[in-house]
Each structure stands twice: as structure tokens, then as C-alpha cells.
Amino acid sequence: MKEWRLRWNSVFVKFSAAFIVVGLIPLFALSYFSVQTFTGHVERYTNDNLRQMVLYISYNLNSAFNNYNEISMLMYTGRYEGLQDSFSDNQTRNVNELEQINTVPIDAFLKMIVYSDRYITSAYFVRTTDNKLYYQTKENKVVIPEQLPVKEWLSTVKEDPTGLMMYPTHDDYYIFNSKDKVITIGRNLIDTSGTLTKEHKIVGTLFFDVDAKLADPFLRELNLGERDELYVLDDKERPYFSNKELAGIRTPFASHADEDKLILSEEIPFLKGQLLVEFEKKEIYKQLGTTSTAVYMAIGICSLVLIIMGTWFSRRLAAPIRGLIKQMAKVESGNLEIQIEVKSNDEMGRLAHGFNRMVDRLQAFINEAYVAEIKQKQTELSALKSQIRPHYLYNTLEVIRMNAVHSDADEVADMILSLSNQLKYVIDYGEDWVTIQRELEHLKDYFYIIQVRFENRFELRCDISDNVNLEWQILKLSLQPIVENAIQHGLRMKGKGTVQISIDCVENKLAVTVYDDGIGMDKDEIDRLDMMLRDASAPSKNVGVKNVHERIKSVCGDGYGISISSRKHVGTSVLMLFPVKEALPYDPNNTGR
């Protein structure tokens, strides 16, 4: 008992107890409540997301049913593309004698119905007087007339003669060698001419099959599992569509509430019914349960490791750290002759060794400070020398130019001036971005020498859009290599031509296009250049284009760079994309000279 009292009075025991009570217990509690809050948030988010998706699907299905209702009403309006805009006043005579609907042959009308929507696979019209069947299909499908359930469809239409009949999802076994699922939609054609009577004068009935795959895009968005169920019901809970076999559907659906299921429903006004979706909670929350379990296990393991490591480190580090603190206090007072005895090769031993090295290096740094100051003076002197050399070159060129002017060699003088301007532009140090104005001036100096060399057979044109500010910045020396490439590989072989620079701002990007009306390139050459631009390691003889592309990508990012298009014997277009970048104030004296 006395031994335990002594241990309790020790700093180590108190530290361990405080570490557990103040550290681990609040950490565990906070982690637990955080996981619970996170779980609830994820469940609510998942439920809200699924509700939004179900609402979206119900809206689209209702729109689809409305669309098919409007298609069935074409028998009355006659408004469809490519045909007449009016219809006969006597539908009975049209259908029975002329075999027409809205002055259009019945077969043509059915073909128009089939191709009015991508999901309509076939259309049928049954004439009331003699039950004559007309039909049209899509994709050269073959109808087996004797297998058509016309009587069953007509009996369903009789329930509401003026309304729209929708026959639930079924197999189209009456189509030869077909295994598709379809929904059949029907509507009576009633003769509206003359006096309306209580008994409607039905001239014929239109039916058309809609591929049940119209719901596939919505099902893919929901990502239904094997045990999840989706139903489209009318006001009497009769199913029109399901991701399951309709023959095995349970009714009534309202009695299927289950704690293990998440049941969501949305109204479909056209059917006066609803879209009902049943999700298995275990499936939609499966990943969440796995995550929670992993978090709890991690919390438990971390708690155990923290207790063990805290106990070990408290024993291991307490004494050496106190000694190190004492020695550091002496160093802070200015005594740099302190050395700590290294007793082990563990972390504390390396810490002591590092402390000794720190003191030694501190003394060395103090001694080297004077040497560093001398080296700085030498660096400044070298910088001044580097400025003198290009300045001497510019002065020499200016002397040569003035001599040419004095000798009335104006063209030579202008060429020397252009060369001097180019050298000043190229040797400018510390500049990656320049204004568009400066880049164009450099390009004009370069092109002047090209014109003199090739006897003005080449022309340079610039087209600047009104929405472009010439003070915006562009990557330095990005235009000249492209123009040089256009002259060497496009215009030179042709003998003469034009290079046009077009600059525009498109979608917050600076688009610079270099056109030439040279010999152009074929598709194989364009494909080779595209591959070269995509693959940084690919070898290429078009070094200038590749270098500019890689510079733009490295400085601006993957969304920028060069794209090339060309046509043989027409010309080549090189598009460069830069970010819109405002220019910094330009200091003409800061040129590195």
C-alpha cells in the first residue's frame, strides 16, 4: 500500500492519470458524438438526394406521358411537320372512303407517329366499320397481325372512349423475333363533325407501342439494387411500369411499410397516380455502417496506443528533457561553450547530438557572416559587369547603324536598328510576361528583317479585337517562333504569302491565332504534330512550336497551350491560349543592362 502511495505522489503517475482523464475520455466522447452526427447528416443527405431524384423522375415521366397524349391528339389537330395544317370536316368519310386521317393516307400518318418519338416502336389503327388493321413499324420490324391483342386493347379503350388508354408494360410478342418490353397507348378517333350526340361516333382507334426503355436513363440515375423496387401506379394503384415483373407485383402497395425499407413516392398528375420507389436501407446505408465501424475501431486502437505510448514516453523523456532545458538556458544567456554528454543512440541521444552540433554551427555561422558579406559584394560587382557587356554591344551596334546612315545605306541602318531592338528584347533578364504591345513590336522588328531578306514577298498583318487590351500580358517570345515556323515551313516553299496575327478574348481566355496561306499540311502531318504536343517526351523537328507549347503549359496550366489545324494547299492556323493577365507597370530602365 505504501508503494502505491509513493507512485501516486510521483509526477509520472499524475501525468498518466491526467493524460487519460483529460485527453482520452473527451476524445472518445467527442469522436462518438461526431460519428453519430455525421451518420445522421449523411442519412438525411442521402434521403433528400433520393427524394430529389424521385421527384425528377416523376416530373420527366409525367412530361413523357403528356407528350404521348399530344402525339395521340394529332388525329384531331393535324399539326405535324411536313404535312398540311388543316383537316377534313368529316373524319368518317376520310377514314372509311378515302382511308385518310387529316387528308393524309393512314399508313403515312402512322409512319409519322412512329418517327415522332425515339421510343415509339410501332403504330396501329383499327377502323371501326370493318375492324381493318393498319400498321407501321420502326427498324424494319415485322408485325404478326393475328397475334395482336386488338380486342383486349379495344375493350380497355371502351372504359373511357374520349380519354387516353395506357396499357401496362408487356411483351411485344406480336412482333416477330422481338423480346422488348413496351407500353401500349391508345386513343379513339371520334367524328366531331355535325351535331354531337351522347353516344360518340368512333371512326377508328389509334394504338402505338412505346419502348419501356424510356425509363432506363432514370433507373440508371437511381442506381437501384437487386432488392430495390420501382412502380408507376394509377389512382387505383394499378401498376403501369416497374423494374420488376408486373406479374409478381404485390397490391395494395400502401400496406408494405417496413422499417427496413425507405419508401418514397411522388405524384404523376397525368395518371392521377404516383411513382413509388422502395429502397433497402441496408443497401443504401451499407457503406455508412462500414465507415462507422472502421471509425470506432480506429478510435479504440488509437486510445490504446496513446495510453501505452504516453506511459513509455513520459518515462523515457522526462529526465533527458529537463537536462536539455537547463543547457539551453545557458546558451540563451550567451554561453556557447556548452556540450551535452550523449549517453544513447536513440532519439534523445540524437537530440543531444543535434544540440551540440547546433551550438558548434552557431559559432561557425557567426564567423562566416563576415565572409558572406564579402561574397555579397562580389556578387553585386559581377551583376554590374553583366550589365556592362550587353550595354557595350548595343553601343557598338548603334555606332555601326550611324555609320550606315552616314553612308546613305538606310536599309542596312534599319536592319541594324531592328536587330538591336530584338537583342534588347531577348536579353531582358527576369521577364517571363510582357505586354501584347511589346511582343508585337518585337515581332515587327523580326519581320522587317524577313521582308528585306525575301524582297517583300511576305506580308505581316495584325487583327486586334476591340475587347482586347494591348496592355494585357502575354508570354514573352511566344509569337516569333510560331511566325518563323509559318515562314520556313509554309510560305517559303510557296514563294510568297501572308502571315496574319489575330488576337481575341474568348471565355476569359486570350486567344492568339497565327494564320498563314502557305502550302498547308495533310492529315498525317497534323496527327503527328498533335501527338508531339500531347507527349512531352516525343521527339520532333518542330522544336519552336513544341517549346512554346511546353512553356505555356508549364506556366499557365493544362487548360492552355497550342492547337494546330491545317488544310493542304490552303494554309495553317496555330491557336495559342493564355490566361487574361493584367500588365504590371513596365520599367524601361530595368532591362538587365
Is residue 234 situated within a structural domain?
Answer: no
417 domain residue, yes or no: no
For residue 194, the model assigns a pLDDT of 63
Euclidean distance between CA atoms 436 and 583, whole angstroms = 9
Among 276, 295, 320, identify where a domain stops.
320
CB 229 within 8 Å of CB 239 = no
Of 272, 297, 320, which residue is a domain's last? 320
- C-alpha cell recorded at residue 258: 417496413
Residue 461 in domain = yes
| DSSP element (H, E) containing 80 | none
Sign of CA dihedral 422, 426, 430, 433: positive
Residue 129 forms part of a structural domain: no
Identify residue 333 by its one-letter amino acid code: S
Q: Is residue 325 part of a domain?
A: no
Angle separating helix axes 286-332 and 11-18, nearest 10 degrees: 150
CATH number at residue 563: 3.30.565.10
Residue 323's pLDDT is 72
Domain containing 568 equals: 457-579
- At 591 the pLDDT is 44
Question: Is 494 a member of any domain?
Answer: yes
Provide the residue-wise pLDDT of the chain in tens; the chain has 593 residues. 555 555 555 555 666 666 666 666 776 777 777 777 877 777 788 788 888 888 888 888 888 889 989 998 888 875 434 333 344 457 788 888 888 888 889 889 989 999 989 899 999 999 988 989 999 998 778 888 898 998 888 888 888 888 888 888 888 888 888 888 888 999 998 887 766 667 778 889 999 999 888 888 877 777 777 777 888 887 777 777 777 765 545 554 544 556 777 888 888 888 788 888 888 777 776 666 677 777 777 777 777 776 776 677 666 666 666 677 777 777 777 676 777 777 777 766 777 778 788 877 777 776 676 556 655 555 554 544 444 345 445 555 555 656 566 565 667 766 777 776 767 666 665 577 889 998 898 888 888 888 887 888 889 999 999 999 999 999 888 888 888 888 888 888 888 899 999 999 988 889 999 999 988 899 888 888 888 888 766 665 667 788 888 888 888 888 898 999 999 888 999 999 999 887 665 555 554 43
DSSP 307-328: HHHHHHHHHHHHHHHHHHHHHH
Asked whether residue 107 is assigned to any structural domain, the reply reads no
The dihedral built from the CA positions of residue 300, 305, 308 and 313, taken in this order, carries a sign that is: negative
What pTM was estimated for this model as a whole? 0.45
Helix (H), strand (E), coil (C) string for 119-141: CEEEEEEEECCCCCEEEEECCCC
Amino acid 443: pLDDT = 86
Number of domains in the chain: 2
3-state helix, strand, coil in the chain (%, to 5): 50, 20, 30
| 84-95 residue pLDDT tens | 334 445 778 888
CA torsion through residues 337, 342, 345, 349, sign: negative
pLDDT the model gives residue 464: 92
The pLDDT of residue 255: 43
Domain assignment present for residue 144? The answer is: no
